[in-house]
Amino acid sequence: MSTSSQGVSRRSFGKLAATAAVAAVGGTTLGACSTRGGTASPDAPLRVTAINHVWSHAIADRLEEIEDRIKRRVSLSMLTADQLTSSYNVKLNASATDVDVMMVRALQEQLLFAHNGWLVDLTDRVEGDAGFRWNDFQQAPRERSAVDGSVLSVPVVTERPALYYRRDLVEDFGGPPGTLDELMDLSLELADRRDNFFGFVGRGQRNGAVSQWSSFLYSFGGDFVVDGRSALATPEAIAAYEYYGRLLHETGPPGATNMSLEQAMPIFAQGKAAFYVDADAIYTNFLDPGVSTVQDEVGFAPFPAGPAGARPHNIPSWSLGINEFSLLRDDAWEFLRWASGPEMVAALQAEGIPGARESAWTDGGTLGSFPAELAETMRISAERGVGTDRPQVLQVARARDIVGRPLVAGILGESVPGVARDADAEFDEFLVRDNRYREG
């Protein structure tokens, strides 16, 4: 082959590659354009993307009801939390129309999705529909559903921390600890780490532990951000870091920094820990004889009081929103209205799924399915609850990574103040950048 023919071949290849690239760009752009302003086929199903959660399973059992109402098939897909986030990132970046109703974590991704313009503004629908009774939703979850005054999601599952404890072990000490000091003392007293028994178990992963640790932070009088600046190195925050770190370092299981819910929960369920603080929504794991060896001994208590009192979080863990690119917005709203309406929330709460409506919480009948001690714990936490368990920023994952660093240092038994000051400086820089993104 001659040089010239090789040159021609390369040029031809280059032209083809460029054409393919342009075609791809064009295709993407055209694809994006075609999704806006189109109409859905009458046969197209309403697509609901949800977390694999008891709430979703309960809704899946009732889909016929809404299908009759909207005269359209409903397709419900369930994914894990990570899969759900990745799926939204991929699909909505391509302006996809194959998601109508989105289950979202209002505190984790709502600000970012709002920034990206991925969620429909529901303000007029929720406030303009008298039968929906928007004011019936608890104040804290309701506030977290709005961004800059626009309601972008409707909370369907709420969550508070509960102190799970072993009745048989605390009997001699006069019952479960009411304060964080008592929790520390009892955990130290009951731990027998050589015999593989732990005083306290809880989440210890840098990122994953932040939400549960928030109740410790609030109860020590701290917060993530004060007046727009990082508050990670305040005496209160450092005390909360040191407390939680010591609790896990001295009384917790080995490998705690690799523990999220999936690793920590079985340790308590298998009877290897005296205390466990985590979401109240997971209580069924400890009552199921197939998973738990402590179903007869497990007790439920409100989050213990710290120097600033007991200030657990009370958050909308899962909410429903509508995809901005959906071609079935009216049907999607009908689904939301049905799935988060007063009747449905009361019915699901009566099955043990805590919702966000005041009417359900004041109706004694809806709490009947919860163990009495847990129902009281939930009621108290809902009253005292702080509406967030993580920094309210666009990049929540990055913020949690920064906030969690001193926590990990504490759990590893390292000195906390230096790491907290370093994290504080990094968090301050992060907040400036996050604000810039928000304004831009």
Partner 1 sequence: MATTSTRPGGRRTAGTPRTFEQANRRLKWAMLAPALAFVGLMIVFPLLFTLNLGFTDAFGAVNADRSFVGLRNFQDALSDTRRFWPAIERTVVFTVGAVAVETALGLALAMLMRRAFRGMRWVRTILIIPLLTTPVAIGILWLLILDPTNGVANHILDSLGLPTQEFLGSVSQSLPTLMFIDVWQWTPMMTLLLLAGLSTLPEEPEEAALVDGAGPWQRFRHVVLPMLMPTLMTALVLRSVDALKTFDILYATKGPGGGSDYEVETLNVYAYGLTFDYQEYGLASAVLVLFTLFIIAVVVLLRRRAGRKEA
* Contact criterion met (CB below 8 Å) for 183 and 177: yes
Q: From 47-55, 151-159, 179-187, 202-210, give the range in contact with partner 1 by CB under 8 A.
A: 202-210
Of 260 and 359, CB closest to partner 1: 260
- Establish if 32 lies at the interface with partner 1 (CB under 8 A): yes
- Establish if 83 lies at the interface with partner 1 (CB under 8 A): no
- Between the alpha carbon of residue 291 and those of residues 132, 269, 294, the distances in Å are 38, 7, 9
Q: Tell which one of 34, 270, 284, 415 touches partner 1 (CB under 8 A).
A: 270
Q: From 35-43, 156-164, 227-235, 404-412, give the range in contact with partner 1 by CB under 8 A.
A: 404-412
Shortest distance in whole angstroms from residue 272 CB to partner 1: 6
Q: From 62-70, 137-145, 161-169, 403-411, give the range in contact with partner 1 by CB under 8 A.
A: 403-411
Binding mask 169-198 for partner 1 (x = CB under 8 A): ---------------------------x--
- Establish if 291 lies at the interface with partner 1 (CB under 8 A): no
Residues 308-337 that bind partner 1 (CB under 8 A): none
- Establish if 150 lies at the interface with partner 1 (CB under 8 A): no
Give dist(CA 170, CA 168) in Å, integer: 6
Biggest CA pair distance of the chain: 94
Give dist(CA 168, CA 171) in Å, integer: 6
> What values do phi and psi take at 380, rounded to 5?
-65, -45
Of 172 and 439, CB closest to partner 1: 439
- Establish if 206 lies at the interface with partner 1 (CB under 8 A): yes
Q: Tell which one of 7, 10, 11, 24 touches partner 1 (CB under 8 A).
A: 24
- Establish if 255 lies at the interface with partner 1 (CB under 8 A): yes
Shortest distance in whole angstroms from residue 96 CB to partner 1: 11
Partnered with residue 230 across adjacent β-strands are 225
- Establish if 7 lies at the interface with partner 1 (CB under 8 A): no
- Establish if 13 lies at the interface with partner 1 (CB under 8 A): yes
- Establish if 359 lies at the interface with partner 1 (CB under 8 A): no
Shortest distance in whole angstroms from residue 351 CB to partner 1: 30
User: What does R_g of the chain's alpha carbons equal in angstroms?
Assistant: 25
Of 321 and 342, CB closest to partner 1: 321
- Establish if 155 lies at the interface with partner 1 (CB under 8 A): no
Token pair of 27 as six digits: 């295709």
Of 118 and 361, CB closest to partner 1: 118
Of 199 and 342, CB closest to partner 1: 199
- Establish if 30 lies at the interface with partner 1 (CB under 8 A): no
- Establish if 392 lies at the interface with partner 1 (CB under 8 A): no
Q: From 234-242, 263-271, 293-301, 356-364, give the range in contact with partner 1 by CB under 8 A.
A: 263-271
Token pair of 135 as six digits: 């004011």
> Burial, 331: exposed, middle or buried (Cβ in 10 Å; 0-12, 13-18, 19+)?
buried
Q: From 121-129, 210-218, 337-345, 392-400, give the range in contact with partner 1 by CB under 8 A.
A: 392-400
Shortest distance in whole angstroms from residue 35 CB to partner 1: 11
- Establish if 294 lies at the interface with partner 1 (CB under 8 A): no
Query: Over the chain, what HEC string results?
Result: CCHHHHHHHHHHHHHHHHHHHHHHHHHHHHHHHHHCCCCCCCCCCEEEEEECCHHHHHHHCCHHHHHHHHCCCEEEEEECHHHHHHHHHHHHHCCCCCCCEEEECCCCCHHHHHHHCCECCCHHHHHHCHHHCHHHECHHHHHHCEECCEECCEEEEEECEEEEEEHHHHHHHCCCCCEHHHHHHHHHHHCEHHHCEEEEECCCCCCCCHHHHHHHHHHCCCCCEECCEECCCCHHHHHHHHHHHHHHHHHCCCCHHHCCHHHHHHHHHCCCEEEEEEEHHHCHHHHCCCCCCCCCCEEEECCCEECCECCCECEEEEEEEEECCCCCHHHHHHHHHHHCCHHHHHHHHHCCCCCCEHHHHHCHHHHCCCCHHHHHHHHHHHHHCECCCCCCCCCHHHHHHHHHHHHHHHHCCCCHHHHHHHHHHHHHHHHHHHHHHHHC
Shortest distance in whole angstroms from residue 208 CB to partner 1: 7
Residues 87-116 that bind partner 1 (CB under 8 A): 89, 92-95, 112, 115-116
Of 117 and 128, CB closest to partner 1: 117
**108 C-beta neighbours (distance < 10 Å), count:** 18
- Establish if 412 lies at the interface with partner 1 (CB under 8 A): yes
Shortest distance in whole angstroms from residue 36 CB to partner 1: 12
- The residues binding partner 1 (CB under 8 A) are 1-2, 5, 12-13, 16-17, 19-21, 23-25, 32, 82, 85-86, 89, 92-95, 112, 115-118, 196, 204-208, 253-260, 263, 266-267, 270, 272, 394-395, 397-398, 401, 404, 408, 411-412, 437
